[in-house]
Structure 1
Amino acid sequence: MRKHVASLFSLLLLSVVSANVSASEKKAAMAVSPAADRSALAGDGIAMFLPPGIADYPASLALAKTPVSVGPLPADWPIAPKFSRKAGKTFVSVTVPEGSDLYGTGEVTGPLRRNDRSIELWNTDNFGYADKQAAGRRLYQSHPWVLGVRKDGSAFGLLFDSTWRAELRTGRKIKLSSDGPPMPVIVVDRDSPQAVMRGLAELTGTMPLPPRWALGYQQSRWSYYPDSEALRIADEFRKRKIPADVLWMDIDYMDGFRVFTFSPEHFPDPKRFNADLRARGFHSVWMIDPGVKSEPGYGVYDSGQARDVWVKDAKGKDYEGEVWPGMTKYPDFTRPDTRRWWADLYRDFMAQGVDGVWNDMNEPAVFNVPGHTMPADNQHRGGGDMAAGPHLQYHNVYGMLMVQATREGIEAANPERRPFVLTRANFLGGHRYAATWTGDNVSTWEHLKLSIPMSINLGLSGQPFSGPDIGGFGGEATPDLWGHWIALGAFYPFSRAHAMKDTGRKEPWAFGPEVEKAARIAIERRYRLLPYLYTLFRDSSIDGLPVMRPMFFADPRDADLRREEQAFLLGEDLLVVPKWARAPKLPKGVWRKISLVEGDGKDAYQAELKLRGGAILPLGKVVQNTGEESLGPLTLLISLDEKGEARGRLYEDAGDGYGYRQGDYLLTTYRAESRDGLVRVDIEGAEGKRARPSREIVVQVTTDEGVFTAKGDESAGISVSLQPPVL
């Protein structure tokens, strides 16, 4: 947090039109400004617009740093917001260029293309996306951001910089109505959607590079307990040769659902248990909710009481709401002291061998009350850099502030290791602190198909590390549904299967031999792709581009690709077409079908994979977890373009820790060129101080006639003959 946060919220609170304002004030509040009082360029293709009454850009929770003027706004700047106030609400309207297709808007259901939609920005505990009032247009996160792509492929982005409850409507105009005071609006206008996404990253920051193990396949259930049952699941993966890296611990590991505790019956020795998991090649992620049981004698509660860390009700008393442990109190994460207290709680918790943390129920969720959350007039006291304000102001960032404190606590507890945090609730910019999943979906074909546009639009809203619960959290999955879902789920950026208590088992082997085989093939494909995926994650940590991308990223000018929501891209080189996709719109040019593991082309469930002409895809061998060496040998799968050329990149580092920041990494660019029936593969360039391993390279050139293979040493170039026999 920065010191100017207090000035932002002071300005915001002074701008609120309360119920007892004078008639003259109400009349003034209805005044309409045709444009902002102040506008300026804030970077290359980035403009900021300040509404009437705000002289300087206020602080922001969404932005990584405060934008500053770098020059006046050009007279021909194409997109400008209009601001107005009425009856205590703020209204912003932006005219959309004719023929534009709209995307982003964060975590909501519906089609990939977000034109003519209504989104509520109010984080909501919404099981099955079925809340009668919220439906799928109000879920667990809020992203006041819209990406637009014009007919010619150029693009723009709109960032409405406010945390207050709001409604966002998209159509011929994009309209935001907010319960809060006037807000800045930032417009990014560049020559491609990729360039706009880089602009968003310049504003909101990028995802920290996760530990490599977090990219592996992950298995969860509400809940695996006792510890012997969790170890049995881990052993089943190893016995059945199904790769996996992470086992998740839901709330039943706790002592009576008290956060930061372990059940003496179910997990009497968590440190030993985590060591046993590590011995099996597994990492563990454990759930921590925000609600602290109101119980004197419970250490976490007592320490919170002593430091007076709780959210207050409208009368200034500690607010209590019911969640899993019964009546609980909620930390007020707007207070620096509360965030420090919360972060300190992780020191002893992580010392038990915990690898990652899962913050759930942090909208915040409250049982048995209207809206499933605390009252909007609850009070957050702020302090230090943050001003006091109502829950109406801070609700949407409650989860974000929580995971910020969680991440800081894990970093302090394990300073030599990269944190992994997953969160259910978040806000625009919260990717700086945590990965996410799409909440409590259910085992239906509808939710399987929704998962693709939901994950893509999260990526187009600045969150590259996301995915749904594979197989569906609630309800019963049929073998056919689960088989198709795992075949797709192997390619989500965050690949985790999860299941609700009292539903049938949803491990890969729970649906019979055919689905188990399909799951093994799908997950083995993911593990072969890990060198490519890790390179994409590293790129995203630098430029902010999503890992999972819409098809139109292959050609933003191709209108046929704008609505495609069955197939998608991983990076720019790999195209994924689910088996169930019907007549998907695919990009023009050279895209060659590839095989990664034996049987993937004949299996009834596997997605079709296509490699872009001109790409070199780095592949590892099949391993059971990321702790095993996978690049001995390293495979380079090549698809030549029309000129007979291809390039590809491979990023390598220790997989954890921060040595890469001091140059302990190796980024290699490989180049292939075809001449006279031979394809020559060389290292075109390299970055980083990490020593190049001595290893064998397998080069495979995929063509319309077949796959041609050669082997050699990485230190020397390798030539592949494009002559029979075809392997």
Structure 2
Amino acid sequence: MKWVGLIFILFLQNHLVLGAKHYLFKTCEQSGFCKRNIHYAHNIEENYYTIDSFNIDETKAYISGNLIKSIPQGEISLNWQLGIVNGGFRFTVDEERHVKGIVNSKRFSPANEFNIEYVSRDQVSIEKSDILHISYNSTVIKVYPKFKIEVYDDKKLTMQINDDNLLNFEHYRLNNEGQMNTPESDFNMFQDDFKDSRDDKLPLGPESIALDFKFKGYQHLYGLPEHSDSLELGDKLYRLFNVDIFEYEINSTLPMYGSIPFLLAMNEQSSMGLFWINAADTYVDVKHSNQDTSTHWISENGVMDFIVFTKDSNRDIQKKYGDITGFTVLPPLFSLGYHQCRWNYNDEADVLDITEKFDEYEIPYDTIWLDIEYTDNKKYFTWNENFPNPTRMLQALDHTGRNLVVIIDPHIKKDYDVSNYLVENKLTIMNSQNSTYYGHCWPGESVWVDSLNPKVQQYWDSLHTSSGFMGNSSNVHIWNDMNEISVFDGPETSSPKDNLHYGGWEDRSVHNINGMKFHEITYDSLIKRQQETTRQRPFILTRSYFSGSQKTAAMWTGDNMSKWEYLKISIPMVLNNGLAGMPFAGADVGGFFGDPSKELLTRWYQTGIFYPFFRAHAHIDSRRREPWIPGDPFTSYIRDAIKLRYALLPVFYTSFYESSINGAPVLKPIFYDTGKHFDIEDEFYIGNSGILVKPVTEPDVKEQKIILPESGKYYNFVNGIPSTVTYKGDETISIPVTLNDIPMFVKGGHIIFTQPRYRRSSKLMVNDPYTITVFLDENNKADGDLYADDGESFNYQNGQFLKVHVEANESRINFVVENSWNAKYINKVIVVGKDIKTFNVKISLNGNYTFKFENQHIHELIHDEL
């Protein structure tokens, strides 16, 4: 029977890999709600929506009223609300629906997942007239009786909402008799013709929402992950619908594993943001015209609910978006190290042998991963006979500071104690008749955890405690995969949309938050588990995500391929997630499917060391490709790259700290701070470090062109080695590269902290001294920052961290300790600048120290306490 099950799974796997093409996924033409709204957009000639009345709250900057939709039979009364939030405004439209049945008749909004607060009434001026004027700071919002909204910043028109009359709110009705205006279509209002979803009940009929937003004077739009497409949004129709998409194509707007309905619009002077608060299947049509960009948002159902972040800097927009959705969790330090994964490592001996080989080849690594084959017959929360003593294995890993990550997916194999408990206690996703839903995934016939059910949490906690399968080990963490959710025999490889979640919500309403809710219950369980061990912050990797996922998980770009074009597209994909508030992102180094050439594998490591999440991963049918497999010189090049990642860990950790408090990306496109070069998607800065990188992502490259985007001077920092060779900024240069070269530069005026000593893992680096490298600008000045804590506990929340700002000129380096914690040490100071002569440098820190530097450009300071 075991072989029969294996053959069945392999059949499914091969069938899906070979057959997961466009025909599995709906186009707009095949999605009833999308086709109806595109038809509406092409045929609309008048505005059917009118502001009827409104009331102003006395304490909060909040207005509510009636919005009347005209139809041939008469009028439909809708509820609208507008409130001023920090940095923008929120607008909602809803309707009252009272329909008896097992399906929740209310419209769903995921707004309860977020922290949305309105400012006080006294901060806002509201003038009543035919046109409603709302003024706050330098922003004016005009709401017109024939529904339209205009936004003015500094007296300049920056946004028009419903200027093209594309507002379409499909109200509840039993049939279409007298219910449709002339431009409306009745395509698939009460049925679904798509071949794999013809059983969809559509119990509430048509309920889509749509609206147009025109960004005035903004030509550059970013966000809307996840798509394997260019960084800047083009004139395309993007779909946000979390699905398991095997062997995804590049340069595609097909839906993928995650959805963040956040858009960042930029020009040379400022930015605007738009957060469409909706968890349903959504299409966004983007069109550029002259200096403006129009977007048409279409969701299958839900409350119409959005926040516009008005004109500001992109940093401030992301800070305000983060204030609402949350900032990325400050990760444990080990999770920023190198992760070694494949589907699958065979047994305990294999795991420990891999660890020994990393030490033998002097390649640092922090974490080894186990895919589904570690379980007993694909039953989660179990171990198979190849792992007879997991505690012993974890202790062996812990000896050198290594960690283990195991996979736990939401599909639970039918007929064992975990699934039986879930079914008996009605903690599963239900079908449209409100009975447990069964479908097929890796274990065969399975049930799915309903992570929206609050009663799930207690049981999930029990499965993750020390009495559960994880034991007392504190160096084990979790990988939540397949949580879109993935259903092999479901429509679009996912859950039927009329499946039911807790509260009677259809999957069509909550679909895109399902993955986030799943990794959130895992995070909560691990937090409670850590109360027993008190050692490490949890680490969770998720494949499916939504706005807010950054608070509890990292993500990766899913099942990519071992091809050069997938290496190249990984950079804009990771950058775009950072712009949308999900900076802890990465891609499978080497590609998941296939066997990379030795050159490709080397170049992928040299790129992957800059992903915020740095993991190598491979399919079960791929050949082994651990760093020593290709042999020298490739192994040496890969070793050098991984060691460079570890040397730069202080830079990455400081960047993650900054992101955790202000929402800034860890990797920044070069336009992020410069306001130019908006089309460049293959170069980036690491946080505020001034380190500029352009990885090599094509074969046989002998020369690399790099745009140095800012005026001033840039230092050659190829392979992380400081050099006095400088280049003039705001120009394009070319440098020769060999297979061992990683093109890197540092903008003059920055100071970076590194820890270059080889250690087997990041945990063993905790007491290592820092090397400080000062890259003086044209005025012989520089500054930089360091953040450090214990790297694993939550003690930093109680003030146990070190935060230092460093300033330098031609004769002094000054350390300003903003928060003091454990002693740290400096073993070398490198000052780089062509105009530097032999001189005395005074380092001021709790007193003055004088050191003699004899080398003209590179100076050393040994073992001084920080």
TM, length-normalised to structure 1: 0.88
In 2, the alpha carbon distance for the partners of 1:267 and 1:691 equals 39
In 2, the alpha carbon distance for the partners of 1:234 and 1:710 equals 46
Per-residue deviation at 1:433?
Answer: 1.6
User: Pairwise mapping of residues 519-558 of structure 1 onto structure 2 (< 5 A)?
Assistant: 519-556=638-675, 558=676
1:649 pairs, out of 776, 785, 789, with: 785
Matched, 1:576 2:696: no
In 2, the alpha carbon distance for the partners of 1:687 and 1:724 equals 32
- In the other structure, the counterpart of 2:428 is 310
CA contact (8 A) 1:30 1:85 kept: no
Matched, 1:592 2:687: no
SS at 2:822's partner residue?
Answer: coil
Per-residue deviation at 1:40?
Answer: 3.3
Matched, 1:243 2:364: yes
CA contact (8 A) 1:32 1:84 kept: no
Higher relative CO (Cα under 8 Å, sequence separation at least 6) belongs to 1
In 2, the alpha carbon distance for the partners of 1:498 and 1:184 equals 39
Quick one: which amino acid aligns to residue 497 of structure 1?
Answer: A
In 1, the alpha carbon distance for the partners of 2:780 and 2:76 equals 59
CA contact (8 A) 1:49 1:81 kept: no
SS at 2:765's partner residue?
Answer: coil
In 2, the alpha carbon distance for the partners of 1:62 and 1:120 equals 23
- In the other structure, the counterpart of 2:832 is 702
Matched, 1:688 2:814: no
In 1, the alpha carbon distance for the partners of 2:258 and 2:643 equals 32
CA contact (8 A) 1:592 1:610 kept: yes
Quick one: which amino acid aligns to residue 201 of structure 1?
Answer: G
Per-residue deviation at 1:719?
Answer: 5.5
CA contact (8 A) 2:330 2:660 kept: yes
Q: More displaced, 487-496 or 631-640?
A: 631-640
Matched, 1:489 2:608: yes
In 1, the alpha carbon distance for the partners of 2:70 and 2:374 equals 54
- In the other structure, the counterpart of 2:453 is 335
CA contact (8 A) 1:149 1:193 kept: yes
Please give the per-residue CA displacement for 1:138-168, whole angstroms capped at 9, x wherever unaligned. 1000111110002x33001100001111111
SS at 1:127's partner residue?
Answer: coil
Please give the per-residue CA displacement for 1:608-662, whole angstroms capped at 9, x wherever unaligned. 1111211110111232211113664311111112222111111111111111111
Matched, 1:47 2:89: yes
Please give the per-residue CA displacement for 1:32-82, whole angstroms capped at 9, x wherever unaligned. 99x994433211x2221223659xx99635853123244353233532533
Per-residue deviation at 1:711?
Answer: 9.8
1:148 pairs, out of 243, 249, 265, with: 265
Per-residue deviation at 1:596?
Answer: 5.8
2:301 pairs, out of 168, 175, 180, with: 180
Please give the per-residue CA displacement for 1:183-219, whole angstroms capped at 9, x wherever unaligned. 2110112432122111211111111211111110111
Matched, 1:27 2:146: no
In 1, the alpha carbon distance for the partners of 2:854 and 2:246 equals 55
Q: More displaced, 198-207 or 603-612?
A: 603-612
- In the other structure, the counterpart of 1:12 is none
In 1, the alpha carbon distance for the partners of 2:509 and 2:108 equals 15
Question: CA RMSD for the aligned pairs?
Answer: 3.0
CA contact (8 A) 1:145 1:157 kept: yes
User: Pairwise mapping of residues 81-120 of structure 1 onto structure 2 (< 5 A)?
Assistant: 81-82=161-162, 83-86=167-170, 87-120=206-239
Change (3 A) 1:706 1:580: farther
Per-residue deviation at 1:371?
Answer: 0.8
CA contact (8 A) 1:39 1:49 kept: yes
2:286 pairs, out of 153, 162, 170, with: 170
Per-residue deviation at 1:666?
Answer: 0.9
Change (3 A) 1:617 1:453: same
Per-residue deviation at 1:324?
Answer: 1.2
Per-residue deviation at 1:584?
Answer: 3.8
TM, length-normalised to structure 2: 0.74
Residue ranges of structure 1 left out of the alignment (5+ in a row): 1-15, 383-387
- In the other structure, the counterpart of 1:510 is 629
Per-residue deviation at 1:454?
Answer: 0.2
Change (3 A) 1:706 1:373: farther
User: Pairwise mapping of residues 225-624 of structure 1 onto structure 2 (< 5 A)?
Assistant: 225-263=346-384, 265-295=385-415, 298-347=416-465, 348-351=468-471, 353=473, 354-382=475-503, 388-415=504-531, 416=534, 417-556=536-675, 558=676, 561-572=677-688, 573-580=690-697, 583-589=705-711, 590-594=713-717, 604-622=739-757, 623-624=759-760
CA contact (8 A) 2:593 2:622 kept: yes
Per-residue deviation at 1:300?
Answer: 1.0
1:663 pairs, out of 796, 799, 809, with: 799
1:220 pairs, out of 341, 348, 355, with: 341
Change (3 A) 1:394 1:40: closer
CA contact (8 A) 2:715 2:747 kept: yes
Quick one: which amino acid aligns to residue 532 of structure 1?
Answer: V
CA contact (8 A) 1:698 1:710 kept: no
In 2, the alpha carbon distance for the partners of 1:369 and 1:166 equals 19
Q: More displaced, 138-147 or 410-419?
A: 410-419
Change (3 A) 1:280 1:315: same
SS at 2:648's partner residue?
Answer: helix
- In the other structure, the counterpart of 1:79 is 159
CA contact (8 A) 1:350 1:410 kept: no
Q: More displaced, 577-586 or 491-500?
A: 577-586
CA contact (8 A) 2:720 2:744 kept: no
Per-residue deviation at 1:99?
Answer: 4.5
Please give the per-residue CA displacement for 1:370-399, whole angstroms capped at 9, x wherever unaligned. 3101211011123xxxxx210111221111
In 1, the alpha carbon distance for the partners of 2:74 and 2:526 equals 47
In 2, the alpha carbon distance for the partners of 1:153 and 1:345 equals 52
- In the other structure, the counterpart of 1:192 is 313
Change (3 A) 1:352 1:506: farther
CA contact (8 A) 2:247 2:560 kept: yes
In 1, the alpha carbon distance for the partners of 2:69 and 2:658 equals 50
How many correspondences in the alignment?
A: 683
SS at 1:244's partner residue?
Answer: coil
In 1, the alpha carbon distance for the partners of 2:252 and 2:219 equals 26
Change (3 A) 1:576 1:710: farther
Quick one: which amino acid aligns to residue 283 of structure 1?
Answer: N
- In the other structure, the counterpart of 1:6 is none
In 2, the alpha carbon distance for the partners of 1:201 and 1:540 equals 10
Per-residue deviation at 1:595?
Answer: 5.1
Per-residue deviation at 1:30?
Answer: 11
Change (3 A) 1:99 1:597: closer
In 1, the alpha carbon distance for the partners of 2:454 and 2:443 equals 26
SS at 2:591's partner residue?
Answer: coil
Quick one: which amino acid aligns to residue 392 of structure 2?
Answer: R
Quick one: which amino acid aligns to residue 699 of structure 1?
Answer: V
Indicate the percent of aligned positions where both proteins have the same amino acid. 29
Please give the per-residue CA displacement for 1:231-280, whole angstroms capped at 9, x wherever unaligned. 111111110001111101111100001011110x2111111111111123
Quick one: which amino acid aligns to residue 817 of structure 2?
Answer: A
CA contact (8 A) 2:441 2:486 kept: yes
SS at 1:512's partner residue?
Answer: coil
SS at 2:642's partner residue?
Answer: helix
CA contact (8 A) 1:144 1:168 kept: no
Q: More displaced, 629-638 or 440-449?
A: 629-638
In 2, the alpha carbon distance for the partners of 1:144 and 1:708 equals 56
